[in-house]
Every structure is written in structure tokens, then in C-alpha cells.
Amino acid sequence: MALLDVRDLVVEFPTRHGTLTALSGISFSVDKGERVGIVGESGAGKSVAAFAILNLLSRPGRIAGGSITFEGQDLTQLSTQRMRAVRGNRISMIFQDPMMTLNPVLTIGTQMIETLKAHRDISEAEARRIAITRLGEVKIPSPEKRLDSYPHELSGGMRQRVVIAIALLTEPALIIADEPTTALDVTIQAEIMSLMLALCKSHGVGLILITHDLAVVSQVTQRVVVLYAGRVVESGETGRVVHNPVHPYTRGLLAALPGEAPPGARLTQIRGTMPSLNAIPEGCPFHPRCDYVQDRCRQAEPALDSLDGHLVRCVRAHELMAGQAA
């Protein structure tokens, strides 16, 4: 059984201009210890998916349909009380901005020890010992001393490591990381992503890595879900998706990367921009930007097709897979 199973999740934001459907029925699952990437452009709904799983949607957002099954229980049906026992305990979250997690007026140590004591019945000394171990695991030099530091005394990369240490404190089954390294330099990104990769493996923790960087996803995750305008357009084993993408959007994203083209050549660009959620085109939501568009694409929204385990939402999926589409 999957650790996390998201089925037909619909998230809506009622606004005074009408209801925005940020996620229109997305499904994916994460097995125990599995690392899954969620990629897509800004506004595709990646963060909304993460917040929905943790039941942390900002108002007026609400889950309007579907289920989120985690360790056998449907999170959408849990009481606030029981949800609190899951969030930050069985599922941890890492945000792009470490200060979303860290409290600026408390020392790192206080925050770590309080988090532990909130979820475990342990002594102060025991909590302290665990905190030091975790800080050591994220390669923070002299962790005993760092316990007494305030967040502002640390650099951005260092703070993000502390956040990872906090995320690991309660030995969660799943970590959701929303663009954890987007604001950081490449060397620090490599440091932190390789660290997370190693820790997820050694602790057997599942990971949902949200990012718009396909390169990072390819080097960290085992499976990937590509979101476009609140829909899953492609998902499958990471190697397969990045090396043999089928959906025109995924192909476009990969082709647009400068690293993939010969130097100086024009980059393949996806024309136009992602539609806003209250003006999603009829039929396939990608059709106005698609190079493979046909008449039938404009008529009905294609279903998510399975091509032996590789899911693609495109009417021409079979042709594209076989390399016949022009």
C-alpha cells in the first residue's frame, strides 16, 4: 500500500470574481521511502497541492473533492486535533523561506526541543541529545554551540539545513519540500539537495520535492509528476520522463533548458504563457501553446492515459510515444 495516495483532489478558491479551481482532480501516490518530484510553472498549483495535503490551505481555499490517504487514513476527514498529530510529526514540511518554519525570537535549540516535546513524551536532556544528533546529520559544525544561536545569526544555507534537521526530528514518514533551494546558490543547492537525498535514503523517509527545476528533480527523485494549470499532464519514472518525455508540455520544458541545446543556437521556446485559472481554454488546457495541436485537442479535455505505467494527458500520446507525430 502506498504511503500517501492522493485521488482526484480538487481545490477551489472562491473569490468575488468567481471560483478559481487551483487543482482540478489531481492524483498521485508516494510509496514508503520513495522520492517524488512535482514540477510545473509558477501558478501550476504545486504549492496548493502541498498545502492541501497538510490541510493548511490559506483561506478561502478549500478541498472540494477527492481524498488524501496517508498511512491508511483519509486526511481530508480528520479533525483539526488529529490532523495536528500528523502534521509536523508524521509529515514534515520544508518551505522555500526557512523563516516560515523558524521563529526569529527563539534559539534553534528551544525550537527543536519544543517540537520534539510536543510530539514525544521525552525529557529535556533526551530532546537535546536528539536535536544535536540531527544538527550533526545536516552537517552543521559544532551543533552543541549552534543550539544557542538565533536564526538571524545563520546564513541562508545554514538556516535551510536547520529546517531540514527540524523536519527530521520526529522521524516522519514523509517530508514535503516546497522549492527548498530556489533562493540559494548552486553550490549550496547541490550541498543541500545531496544532503536531503542521503538523509531520505538512510532514514527511509518519503519525499515530495516541489520545484520548477527539472534538472534538480532528475537528480533527486525516482518519480515525477508534471502539473499544468492544476492538472497532472504527465507522470512516471523520473528517468523515463526526463529522457523520453511524451507530453508536448514536458517536451517543451526540457527543450527550453539552455543546457540541452548547442551553444548559441536559438532555444526551443514554448510560446505564450500559462492561462490564468479563471480562463482555462476549452479542450486540452495546453492547446494554445502546443506545437502538436490538432482540431480534436480543442474539443474535449484529454484523459490521463497510461502507457505502461507512464501517464500522459494528451490525445496524441500514443503517436508521440512512438515518435510518429509531426
Partner 1 sequence: MSEAAAMTRDSGRESGGAPAADRPLVEARHVVKHFDLGGHFLQRERPTVKALNDVSITIRRGEAFCLVGESGCGKSTLARVVMGLLDPTDGEIRFDGTRIDALGHRARKPFHRRMQMIFQNPYASLNPRRTVQQTLEEPVRFHFPKLSDAEVKAKVEQVMVSVGNDPGWGNRYPHEFSGGQRQRISIARALMVDPDFVVADEPISALDVSIQAQVLNVMMDTRERLDLTYLFITHDLSVVRHFGSRVGVMYLGTLCELADTKTLFETPRHPYTRILLSAIPRVTTEEMQPPGLPGEVPSAMNLPSGCVFHDRCPLANARCSAEVPKPQSQADGTLVACHAVEEGRG
Ligand X SMILES: Nc1ncnc2c1ncn2[C@@H]1O[C@H](COP(=O)(O)OP(=O)(O)OP(=O)(O)O)[C@@H](O)[C@H]1O
Rule CB under 6 A: which residues touch ligand SF4?
A: 247-248, 284, 286-287, 290, 292-293, 297, 302, 314-316
Q: Which is nearer to ligand SF4, 4 or 312 (CB)?
A: 312
Amino acid type, 246:
V
Q: Nearest approach, Cβ of 77 to partner 1 (angstroms)?
A: 35
- Residue 142 as a binder of partner 1 (CB under 8 A): the answer is no
Calpha distance 302→76 (Å, rounded) = 27
Q: How far is the CB of 115 from partner 1 (least distance, A)?
A: 25
Compute the least distance from the CB of residue 36 to partner 1, in Å: 15
Residue 21 binds Mg ion, judged by CB under 5 A? no
Structural element, H or E, at residue 215: helix 214-220
Q: How far is the CB of 112 from partner 1 (least distance, A)?
A: 21
Could you say which of Mg ion, ligand SF4, ligand X, none residue 292 binds, taking C-beta under 5 to 8 angstroms by partner kind?
Answer: ligand SF4
Partners of 211 in the beta sheet? 39
**What is the residue whose three cell numbers read 543546457?**
259
Q: Does 214 bind partner 1 (CB under 8 A)?
A: yes
Report the relative pairing of strands 206-211 and 91-94 from DSSP bridges. Answer: unpaired
State the binding string over 253-292 for partner 1 (x if CB under 8 A, else -). xx-xxxxxx-xxxxxxxxx-xx------------------
Q: How far apart are the C-alpha atoms of 281 and 197, rounded to whole Å?
A: 38
Residue 223: partners with Cβ closer than 8 Å, 6 or more residues away: 34, 35, 36, 37, 235, 236, 237, 238
How many CB atoms neighbour CB 233 within 10 A? 25
Smallest distance, Mg ion to C-beta of residue 4, A: 19
CB of 296 to ligand SF4, least distance (A): 8
Taking the C-alpha atoms of residue 247 and residue 59, their distance in angstroms, rounded to an integer, is: 33
Binder among 22, 49, 57, 158 for partner 1 (CB under 8 A): 158
CB closer to ligand X, 21 vs 111: 21
Of 264 and 323, the one with the shorter C-beta distance to partner 1 is 264
174 lies in the binding site for partner 1 (CB under 8 A)? no
For residue 294, the Cα-to-chain-centroid distance in whole angstroms is 32
Among left, alpha and beta (phi > 0; psi -120 to 50; other), residue 229 is: left
With contacts defined by CB under 8 A, name the span among 61-69, 130-138, 143-151, 192-200 that binds partner 1: 192-200
Q: Which amino acid is at 62?
A: R
